[in-house]
Amino acid sequence: MAVDEKLQTMRHSCAHVMAEAVKNLFPGTKIAIGPAIENGFYYDFDFPKDKKISDADFPAIEKEMRRIISGNHDFVRKEVTKAEALELFKDEPYKVELIEDLPSDATITTYEQDGYLDLCRGPHVANTKEINAQGFKLTKIAGAYWRGDSNRETLTRIYAVAFAKPNDLKDYLAMIAEAEKRDHRKIGVEMDLFHLDAEDPGQIFWHPNGWTIYTTMQDYMRRMVRRDGYQEVNTPAIMPRTLWERSGHWGHYQKNMFITESEKRLFAIKPMNCPGALEIFKAKQRSYKDLPLRLAEFGHDVRNEPSGTLHGVMRVRGFVQDDAHILCTEEQIGPEVAKFCKLLKAVYHDFGFDELVVKFSTMPEDHVGDLETWERAEKALSDACHEAGLEYEIQPGEGAFYGPKLEFKLYDCLGREWQCGTIQVDYQLPSAERLDATYIGADNQKHHPVMLHRAILGSFERFLGILIENFAGAFPTWLAFEQAAVVPVAPEFDDYAKQVNEALIAADIRSNAYLDDSNMKSKIKQISMEHKTPYILVVGQKEKDEGTVTVRFRFSSKIPQQTFKLEDFIAYVQDKVNNHVIGI
């Protein structure tokens, strides 16, 4: 989505007002930086040692901000020399450090409102009256290392959201409240899907319920890629330093690798699968008749992500990608990308995502390869998108150094954007300078293939986290870990409940019979709240006599309970599963 520059300017101006308010209320506070960000802004502060700030102080800060805004103060821009700037901010050590990093002849700008002076490039609104006094809200406090360096001072970061209209703020806060209810970490515990262990950060312990959904997704992707002409492979989890050096990852990615040593040799646990795919390609001589060769791998990768960036199952250290690498000729790039786009759209549809945005990232300044090759690759990507019925937005200069790429972003039920799928064109990894992969062409000469790196879901871990939040745990029937629950109205019907359950399981429907001593209403409440099971089958004397089941549909007051012949209900569920129906 295009950035609203006017709104971002207002947000940045509001950050200056917050800084002024904080300094008014907490004398002696030192200021650092305060940029506008998506949906709002933040400002970093160094509070005096005797000042402990918490979100309980937010109402007072907001009140002071509104007082400042109501004063209709102009934002006054001024250009100063480096020496003048150092004098103006001599009591602000973080500003002084920023100024000292600038060239001696730099033109430095300051902005002042209501006597509050800040070092800033701007721009800002003309007057505080352009900030809606009812359109912002302080949201949270976090720690932040000065300049992102863990060896430097820890500052206090205050976040806020800000909008041009109060109703926009109200809508956003409602969305955030709904998002908190849907937090995958909370639902993951409530539904017994997984747990996280503080002793093993970034690793997921999948429980039976969560692993059922996980493997259902994985089995689905296996079927989809097999039908689309892929062959599944598997490569070692640990590979030698020499391979990573030749691929270029050792020089560019070593800090994110877990390194181990054996017999005086260094190895890395693989953070990505691409070198392994090329090693398989190189294991025998290939012909142009073998291309395109589509190699899919659900490889388990490990990356040494900073602990502060980890977030539930969304950002982890150990994960599995729905990864694949397509080795092809240059002429095959277009058809292969178009084929991939069609597969991606079909997969997203089955998971309930029909709205997506495609970002087209073009040649960056720091690129390798000649301009003519880049132009051919970019044209092939563009033509492939149109062939697949996809429009795209250009991201100039955002391509990888080795080639252009497409990024696919989908939207969940709250309108949040998630970047999941990607396809990249790579001329470098198969080259003689890297892993030297070749095939024999129609001219009987050796040629280097083009490598297309592609993923649809991204990592299974992250995509499952997205699904948990999108569906609030109420998964479509085909994904639900428990698709049906059989509840007898009284203990004397336990045998019929068992019979029904066994028939469902024999038909590959994930079902459980609830035969404990609690009453029927308690069982139904538990199943509905903890498992969010799509279908609860209530059985009693009438159902036993007629070979039927009475079905209660999940969360539905619109659909009355219905009675099915058991074989008809099995067919009903199988249709929902086989066609990946989102509703129940």
| Token pair of 540 as six digits | 């009693």
| Intra-chain end-to-end CA distance of the chain, in Å | 33
Give the residue among 279, 351, 311, 325 at the shortest CA–CA distance from 422: 325
- Name every residue whose Cβ is closer than 8 Å to that of residue 5 and which is 6 or more positions away in sequence: none
Active-site option among 46, 118, 301, 323:
323
Q: Which residues pair with 526 in a beta bridge?
A: none
3-class DSSP state for residue 159? strand
Sheet holding 286-287, edge to edge: 286-287, 439-440, 446-447
- Name every residue whose Cβ is closer than 8 Å to that of residue 361 and which is 6 or more positions away in sequence: 395, 397, 398, 399, 400, 404, 405, 406, 407
Give the residue among 317, 310, 283, 279 at the shortest CA–CA distance from 297: 279
Active-site option among 274, 341, 385, 420:
274
Under 8 Å between Cβ of 461 and 320: yes
Tell me if the bond preceding 240 is cis, omega within 30° of 0: no
Active-site option among 303, 510, 531, 554:
303
Q: Any catalytic annotation for residue 413?
A: no
Cα 392–Cα 395–Cα 400 angle in degrees, nearest 5: 110
3-class DSSP state for residue 417? strand
Fill in the DSSP letter of residue 428.
S
3-class DSSP state for residue 425? strand
Q: Any catalytic annotation for residue 323?
A: yes
Q: Any catalytic annotation for residue 274?
A: yes
| Token pair of 431 as six digits | 């080259």
Tell me if the bond preceding 123 is cis, omega within 30° of 0: yes
Active-site option among 113, 321, 332, 483:
321
Give the residue among 101, 86, 93 at the shortest CA–CA distance from 153: 93
Task: Give the helix/strand (H/E) hosting 172.
Answer: helix 166-181
Active-site option among 317, 453, 454, 531:
453
Residues 54/59/64/69 CA torsion (nearest 10 deg): 120
Active-site option among 73, 124, 157, 325:
325
Under 8 Å between Cβ of 317 and 310: yes
Burial of 367 (C-beta count, 10 Å sphere; 0-12/13-18/19+): middle
d(C-alpha 339, C-alpha 289), whole Å: 19
Q: Any catalytic annotation for residue 303?
A: yes
Under 8 Å between Cβ of 418 and 407: no
Is the torsion defined by CA of 204, 195, 139, 130 positive or negative? Answer: positive
Active-site option among 182, 249, 317, 405:
405
d(C-alpha 434, C-alpha 211), whole Å: 38
Give the residue among 236, 232, 219 at the shortest CA–CA distance from 297: 232
Residues 310/311/313/316 CA torsion (nearest 10 deg): -10
Under 8 Å between Cβ of 127 and 160: no
Fill in the DSSP letter of residue 529.
I
What count of other Cβ atoms lies within 10 Å of the Cβ of residue 282?
15
Q: Any catalytic annotation for residue 325?
A: yes
Under 8 Å between Cβ of 292 and 328: yes
- Residues with a catalytic annotation lie at 274, 303, 321, 323, 325, 405, 453
